[in-house]
C-alpha cells in the first residue's frame, strides 16, 4: 500500500498533466478558430467601411453639385426679385393714381349732385 499511494498520486498527476495539455490544445484551437473568425469579421467591416467611404464621397460630390446649381440660380432669383419689386412699384403707383382718380370723380359727382340739387331747388 505504501508503494501503491505514490503510484496513484503519480497517476493522478499524469492524468492532470494530460488533461491540462488537452485543455491547452483545445483552447489553442479555439483561440485559432476565434482569431480566424475575427479576421473574417474585420475584413467584412473593412469592406463596409470602404463602401461607406464611397457613399460619403458621393454625397460630398452631390452636395457640391447642388451648391453650384443653387449658386447659378441666385442671379436668376435676384433678377426675378428686381422684376417683382418693379412690378410692385408700378402697382403702388397705379393704386395711388386710381385713388386720386377716385377722389376726383367722387368730388366731381358730389359737385354735380350739389349743382343739380341747387338748380332743382331753384326751379321750384
Write out pLDDT tens, residues 33-71.
999 999 999 999 999 999 999 999 999 999 999 999 999
Give, for 9, the enclosing helix (H) or strand (E). Answer: helix 4-123
The pTM for the full model equals: 0.47
Cell numbers describing residue 50: 470602404
Domain that holds residue 78: 1-93
More confident residue, 57 or 121: 57
Q: Is 42 a domain residue?
A: yes
Q: Is 79 a domain residue?
A: yes
Q: Is 98 a domain residue?
A: no
Q: Is 122 a domain residue?
A: no
Q: How far is CA 17 from CA 8, 20, 27, 30, in A?
A: 14, 5, 15, 19
Q: Is 120 a domain residue?
A: no
Q: Residue 124: is its pLDDT beyond 70? A: no
Q: How confident is the model at residue 1 (pLDDT cuts 50, 70, 90)?
A: low
Q: Is 31 a domain residue?
A: yes
Q: Is 117 a domain residue?
A: no
Q: How confident is the model at residue 116 (pLDDT cuts 50, 70, 90)?
A: confident
What total number of domains does the chain contain?
1
Amino acid at each position: 500500500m505504501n508503494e501503491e499511494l505514490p503510484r496513484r498520486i503519480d497517476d493522478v498527476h499524469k492524468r492532470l498533466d494530460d488533461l491540462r495539455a488537452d485543455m491547452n490544445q483545445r483552447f489553442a484551437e479555439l483561440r485559432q478558430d476565434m482569431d480566424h473568425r475575427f479576421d473574417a469579421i474585420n475584413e467584412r467591416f473593412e469592406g463596409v467601411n470602404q463602401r461607406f467611404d464611397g457613399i460619403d464621397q458621393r454625397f460630398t460630390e452631390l452636395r457640391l453639385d447642388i451648391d453650384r446649381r443653387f449658386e447659378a440660380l441666385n442671379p436668376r432669383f435676384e433678377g426675378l426679385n428686381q422684376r417683382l419689386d418693379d412690378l410692385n412699384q408700378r402697382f403702388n403707383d397705379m393704386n395711388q393714381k386710381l385713388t386720386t382718380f377716385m377722389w376726383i370723380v367722387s368730388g366731381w359727382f358730389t359737385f354735380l349732385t350739389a349743382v343739380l340739387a341747387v338748380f332743382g331747388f331753384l326751379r321750384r
